[in-house]
Chain A
Amino acid sequence: MIVLVLVTAVNGVLLSWSRLINAALGLRVGALPSSLINHLVGTVVAGLLLLVIRTGTVRFDLPLYYFCGGLLGVLVVCGWNYALPRIGNTFLAILVIGTQIGGSAVIDHFGLLGGAAFPISTSSITGLALLLIGAILAQARPQVTP
């Protein structure tokens, strides 16, 4: 368990780095082209790795939505690109984190989208609320000191 938690935390650090790199790339070429570049690079890297390691067998007798993760990811980039200049960075981040937390709890509780159910208890609802409050408090940037 502790290994899984640590690996997930490292993944969070990687996510922070990739967001910074994507923001820099997006400033140069635009949000959608930067998403295209990232997906192309990712396809090549994962494809090269697949030549060396195999971790399963590809099959297509699965529900169609199983193959829509990449498509939805691009849509999310388009959505943020639209909303960011209109509502600002902080508000956008809070709305996204809030619905992401709520959405993940709903998916867990009912075992949606092909996953096993992780029933949500009263204490974990308290935990989800605390997490959101914490994210809101830590988001707000203090004034710049001269």
Chain B
Amino acid sequence: MERPLSIATAVLSGFFVAAIMRINASLGEAIGLLEATFVVHLVGSIFALFLMARRLNRPLLRSVVATPLPLFAGGAIGVCIVWVGNWVIPKLGMAFSTGIVVVTTLFFSALADHYQWLGMPRFPMTRRRWVGLACAVAGTWLIYGRIA
């Protein structure tokens, strides 16, 4: 039972990821790009706080205090990601923007695996992976053809 439920959760979350990008961009068009970025993070903070209100205990706070400072940078990078997304999505459309981002993240993880960034185990490039990257680029190019 847990496996089908996990698959359903994953499928639904993929739709949510797409919906979130478009909703945030629409909010950006309505109230301003940076204002929307602020609202998105504020609402997320309040909701996350609500979900874990009962788990805010000492051990958790201790582990947060012991966390190295650079690991808190994700939130700052997130501001940039939402801000830029709100700007480009109304111009490029969801499908093309998603294509570009998917291609970039695929190249990033291929490079990270091949050159062993961040001390992760090394996975050298394979022909299969090259073919995958080429397919993704060609696919995004075809989606772009619709806009051009």
Binding site for B on A (CB under 8 A): 1, 4-5, 7-22, 24-25, 28-30, 32-47, 49-50, 53-59, 62, 65-76, 78-80, 82-83, 86-87, 91-92, 95-105, 107-108, 112-116, 118-121, 123-124, 126-142, 144-145
10 A–B contacts from the bound complex (CB under 8 Å): A9-B103, A11-B85, A21-B70, A41-B74, A42-B45, A46-B41, A69-B40, A107-B19, A134-B136, A142-B129
**B residues less than 8 Å from A133 (CB atoms):** 132, 135, 139
Is there an interface contact between B18 and A130, defined as CB atoms closer than 8 Å? Answer: no
Q: Scan residues 30-57 of chain B and give those whose CB is less than 8 A from a CB of chain A.
A: 30-45, 47-49, 51-52, 55
* A12–B27 alpha-carbon span in the complex (Å): 21
**A residues less than 8 Å from B2 (CB atoms):** 86
Nearest CB of B to A61, in Å: 9
Summarize B's interface: helix, strand, loop or mixed.
helix
Is there an interface contact between A114 and B135, defined as CB atoms closer than 8 Å? Answer: no
* A124–B81 alpha-carbon span in the complex (Å): 25
Is there an interface contact between B33 and A103, defined as CB atoms closer than 8 Å? Answer: no
**A residues less than 8 Å from B148 (CB atoms):** 1
Partner among A39, A104, A127 whose Cβ is within 8 Å of the Cβ of B139 = A127
Is there an interface contact between B48 and A35, defined as CB atoms closer than 8 Å? Answer: yes
Given contacts A46-B79, A66-B30, contact A134 B64 (CB under 8 A): no
Is there an interface contact between B20 and A138, defined as CB atoms closer than 8 Å? Answer: no
Nearest CB of B to A90, in Å: 11
**A residues less than 8 Å from B70 (CB atoms):** 21
**A residues less than 8 Å from B81 (CB atoms):** 11, 14-15, 18
Seed contacts A11-B85, A113-B19, A114-B27; 4 additional CB < 8 Å A-B pairs: A33-B52, A41-B78, A87-B10, A101-B102
Is there an interface contact between A130 and B136, defined as CB atoms closer than 8 Å? Answer: yes
Is there an interface contact between A49 and B21, defined as CB atoms closer than 8 Å? Answer: no
* A66–B40 alpha-carbon span in the complex (Å): 9
Nearest CB of B to A122, in Å: 10
Partner among B21, B79, B121 whose Cβ is within 8 Å of the Cβ of A45 = B79
Give the 10 A-B CB pairs with smallest separation, nearest first: A56-B32, A41-B75, A12-B104, A99-B14, A127-B142, A137-B132, A134-B136, A114-B26, A130-B139, A134-B135
Specify the chain B residue showing the minimal Cβ separation from A105: B95
Is there an interface contact between B88 and A39, defined as CB atoms closer than 8 Å? Answer: no
**A residues less than 8 Å from B128 (CB atoms):** 137, 140, 142
Given contacts A113-B23, A131-B99, contact A103 B88 (CB under 8 A): no
